[in-house]
Structure 1
Amino acid sequence: MTFPKEFKEALSHLPSTEKDKLILRLLKKDLVLANRLLFELVNTNTVEEQRDKVEKTLLDQIRRSAENGHYSIGYLNFDVRDLSGFITEHVKITKDKFGEAHLNLIMINEVLKINRTFILNSKPPAKTKKFCIAVIARAFKIVMIVQKLDDDFLIEFESNLKKLGALIIDNKFLMKEAIRNGFDVNWLLNAEIPEDISTIHKQIRAAGFLKYQKVRYL
């Protein structure tokens, strides 16, 4: 939304106390902005320290959920979405683009590692398929984020990219969906992401892939 010049000028002439009241009232309606200002103006943690806290919380939650047992593959999918939302909130508050890739990689690797047997034995197949498509879509998102970062950062992601590639290969359902949805696992295993990965992703989406369709496994 673009505000007219007259409106901006009128705001600039408001008394400081009135401005403060208006800002606090608006911040109550925008918690993300409020938390961003809280982080930038009050919080003494660095972005890296905040990222480490988020990573610890993610890993603890993933392990606790696995220990308690998932009701179904559908609930595991919901859990991953919640964890993803937690990462998104961190990124919006801290503007941590490196952390967006790092935390998503850490999260999905831990989920796939701890829940491998559960995923392979899950029923019905349709919900397993839906989960696996969501994982491949997330893998696409991760490599696109990494590709946009400075080339010097790639080496810092190499180990976790290769780990994700190995986890996909080690799960027949994930590998099936990777192939069907045009995701080349070699991008992960070799830590070599095509420069036009965003275009590749857009074309695959336009062709109707990376979304759940009711097709039974053979």
Structure 2
Amino acid sequence: MTDTRTDELELLASLVPLDGQRLIELGCGAAGLARRLVERHAGASVLGLEVDERQHAKNLASDAPPGLSFQAGGAQAIPFPDARFDGALMLKSLHHVPMPLMDPALDEVRRVLVPGGWLYVSEPVYAGALNEVIRLFNDEGEVRAAAQQALDRAIAAGGWQQADERRFEVPVRFADFAEFECRMVDVTFAERRFDDALRAAVRARFEPHMGPDGAHFVRPMHVRLLRRVD
């Protein structure tokens, strides 16, 4: 039976303690999970690191709950001292790190974790109907594979141990093609070249999934939980 989840925070909380933990999220985006985390888990703090300037400005301007703060920066050069955090999150972000920088980024994450600290990496699987639509204008097959290979190399090098691994699906709904464009095309961290021909091709692949209440998909996800080895 496939594990379906609408809130990944529940899975994270089942794998690691969160109350009172000092956490960093690399490539935090709008920090949706981090916002819920600090509200639900007493004494937890999350530092959201974001390389995209426009998203970082939005985060700074947002009404962040106590315990959540933001700083600009990339995972390959984390602006904090050694052993600063108990745990780290990379939610659909490792594959956005430039491929030559993935190994240095994982080294940096290890550096800022306390001994025995954990890294939770959640990556979309390159499969499924939604992926078939998106790959017409944003084919991430190579970078998603590279992200998994970087994790394998980090473990093989001896600095990390894989503590757990999970797979699940996230339901995704779009009211119509316009909402799909808004959420998946018009994003701050990418400049899409979306001409009329490509738009028509994407729409043609999207529209068969439309029903009376919108288009429904599932996004398959792959989680790997690593622990720092000393």
Asked whether the two chains share a fold, i.e. TM above 0.5, the reply is: no
* Larger-gyration structure (1/2): 1
Structure whose residues are more often helix by fraction: 1
TM-score by length of 2: 0.28
